[in-house]
Amino acid sequence: MREILLLIAILAGLGMTLRWPFVGVLIWEWFTLQNPHRETYGFMSSTNMLIAGVTLLAWLLSKEKKLPPNGFILWAVLGFLLWTTLGTFFAYDPAWSWGYWDRTWKTFALGILLASVVTNRVRFQAVVWVAVISLFYYGVKGGLFTIITGGNNHVLGPSGSMINDNNQLAVAMLMSLPLAQYLRQQSSDRRVQFGLLAGMVLTVIAVIGTYSRGALIGLAVLGVMGLMRMKHRFTYLAVASALIAFTLHFMPAAYFDRMRTMNSVESVQSDESVHGRLVAWQVAMHTAEDYFPFGAGFYGPQLAPVFHRYFPDELNHAAHSIYFQVLGEHGYIGLILYLLILAGAFLKTTAIIRTGRRLPEYRWGGELATALQASLIVFCVSGAALSLAYYDLFVIAVCLLLPLSRQVSARRERAQFRPAPLAAAA
C-alpha cells in the first residue's frame, strides 16, 4: 500500500515538473533528505534516478536559469568535484570507489541545480520547508519513540541511506533545527509557530535518544548559539531547562554511562569507539602520504587491504571524521579544497548577515544566512567524529548561499545608487 501511495505522489509531482521544473527539484530534495523510498519495497528503491532524470530534462527544456551565480564557493565546489572525479581513476579499488562517486556527484548536482533555480524568496522558503519536513519526519517519530520506550532503545535512520547510523541521523536532525527556527521567525501564524516548536522539541529528544556523544556536543554548541542570538531568552531558557530535566529524570542509566565516557582522559582512552577513531585517523594520514596526491579514493581507506596495511590487528572501519575522511580518500589537495568550501561558506554567511542588518527589507535573507551558518557550524563540530563529508544537507546549505548572496548584492547595489529625493523629483 505504501508503494502505491508513494508512486501516485511521484507521478503527480513529475507531471507538474514537466510544466514547472522547480517542483521536480523539491521532490528530488525530498527523496534525497528523507529517503521515503527506503521505507518501501521492490521497484520503488530506484525512483530517485527517475525523479532526477525527469527534473533535469524539464529544466533543460524550460526557460529557467541554466547557470548558477558565479562566486568563490561555486569554483571551490567544482574544483573539489573535479579533483575527486580525477582521483577515482587512480583509487586503490576504482570499481569500489566509482559507486560512491556516483552518489556524490548527484548530491553536488542537486546543490548546483538549486543554486540555479532558486531565484526568489518564495523558492528559498520552499527549499527550507522541504528540508525541515524531511528531517522532522525522523525527529518527531524518533522523539515519540524515545518517550514511549523510556529511552531504552537507540533512534536510527532509514536503512541503506547515508543517515542510517544513529550518529549520522543525530547530526542531520541537529542541522534541521536552525532552519526550523528560521521558519518560525518568518511565519505570522501562531499554529505554524507552535507546530514547528513542538517538532523542534521532539527532534531534540530524538537526538538525545540516538545515544550519540558527538551529537550531544553539537547540541551544546547549538544551545549556546541559540542563547546568544535569541530575542526571547526567558522562553528559550524555559524550554532548554525542560529538556534538560527530561533527560536527567527520564533517560535510563545506560545513556548516562555512555555519556560519562567523555568525562575523563582514562575513560576516553579505554573506550573502544574512541580507540577505533584514533586508529582510523592514523590510517587516513598514512593513506594520504602513500597514495599521494589523490588518496585511496572514495571509501578506499576502510577497505581491509588498505586498512590492515597499517594496523593488521585492528578491525577495519570508516574514518569517523569528515576531515580525515576527505584526507584519506582524496589526499591533502582534496582536503584543502574541502576546507575552502567551508571557509567560503562561513565568509559568505557573515557578509549576508551584515547586509541583512543594514537593509530592513532584506532582514529575512540575513536570518536565513544565520540559520545556514548555525547548521554548518553543527555539521563541522559534530562531523569531526563522523564520516559524513558529502552529506546532502551540507551541500544544499552551501549551494543556497550562492543565490542568496546574489539577491543581497542586487539589493545592496540598488540601495547604494538610489537617487536622492530632490534629484528624483527633478
DSSP 291: T
Cβ atoms of 301 and 273 within 8 Å: the answer is: no
Q: What is the pLDDT of residue 46?
A: 66
Q: How far apart are CA 31 and CA 52, in angstroms?
A: 10
The residue ranking higher by pLDDT, 211 or 413, is: 211
Single-letter residue type at 303: L
The predicted model gives 346-353 an average pLDDT of 94
Q: What is the pLDDT of residue 8?
A: 84
The predicted model gives 167-196 an average pLDDT of 92
Cβ atoms of 112 and 71 within 8 Å: the answer is: no
Cβ atoms of 123 and 116 within 8 Å: the answer is: no
Q: What is the pLDDT of residue 236?
A: 62
The predicted model gives 85-96 an average pLDDT of 94
For residue 269, pLDDT over 60 is answered with: no
Cell triple for 82: 573535479
Cβ atoms of 216 and 259 within 8 Å: the answer is: yes
Q: Angle at which helices 21-34 and 94-117 pack, to 10 degrees?
A: 130
The predicted model gives 61-80 an average pLDDT of 92
For residue 262, pLDDT over 80 is answered with: no
For residue 248, pLDDT over 60 is answered with: yes
Cβ atoms of 217 and 382 within 8 Å: the answer is: yes
Cell triple for 305: 587491504
Q: What is the pLDDT of residue 230?
A: 67
Q: What is the pLDDT of residue 426?
A: 34
In order, the DSSP letters of 65-90 are --SPPPSHHHHHHHHHHHHHHHHHHT
Q: How far apart are CA 220 and CA 223, in angstroms?
A: 5
In this prediction, residue 351 has a pLDDT band, given cuts at 50, 70 and 90, of very high
Would you tell me how many other CB atoms lie within 10 Å of the CB of residue 185? 16
Cα 273 to chain centroid, rounded: 24
Q: How far apart are CA 426 and CA 423, in angstroms?
A: 5
pLDDT tens, position by position, 15-65: 899 889 999 999 999 989 988 877 766 556 667 788 888 999 999 999 888
Please, which residues have CB within 8 angstroms of residue 248's CB and are 6 or more apart in sequence? none
Q: What is the pLDDT of residue 225?
A: 79
* CA proximity to 223, closest of 177, 258, 260: 177
Dihedral sign of CA atoms 32, 38, 39, 40 in order? positive
In Å, the largest CA–CA distance within the chain is: 84
The residue ranking higher by pLDDT, 272 or 391, is: 391
In order, the DSSP letters of 101-152 are HHHHHHHHHHHHHHHHH--SHHHHHHHHHHHHHHHHHHHHHHHHHHHHHTT-
Cβ atoms of 330 and 322 within 8 Å: the answer is: no
Q: What is the pLDDT of residue 386?
A: 86
Q: How far apart are CA 209 and CA 247, in angstroms?
A: 9
pLDDT winner (highest mean) among 116-120, 208-212, 361-365, 412-416 = 116-120
Across all residues in the chain, what is the average pLDDT? 86
Please, which residues have CB within 8 angstroms of residue 391's CB and are 6 or more apart in sequence? 162, 163, 168, 171, 172, 379, 383
State percent of the chain over pLDDT 90: 54
The predicted model gives 268-278 an average pLDDT of 69
Cβ atoms of 331 and 87 within 8 Å: the answer is: yes
223-227, 359-363, 420-424: which range is least confident on average?
420-424
Cell triple for 377: 557550524
Q: Which residue has cell 527550507?
A: 128
The predicted model gives 168-175 an average pLDDT of 92
Q: Angle at which helices 363-382 and 166-186 pack, to 10 degrees?
A: 170
For residue 270, pLDDT over 60 is answered with: no
For residue 266, pLDDT over 70 is answered with: no
Q: What is the pLDDT of residue 140?
A: 94
pLDDT tens, position by position, 195-205: 999 999 999 99
Q: What is the pLDDT of residue 44?
A: 61
pLDDT tens, position by position, 119-154: 999 999 999 999 999 999 999 999 999 989 888 888
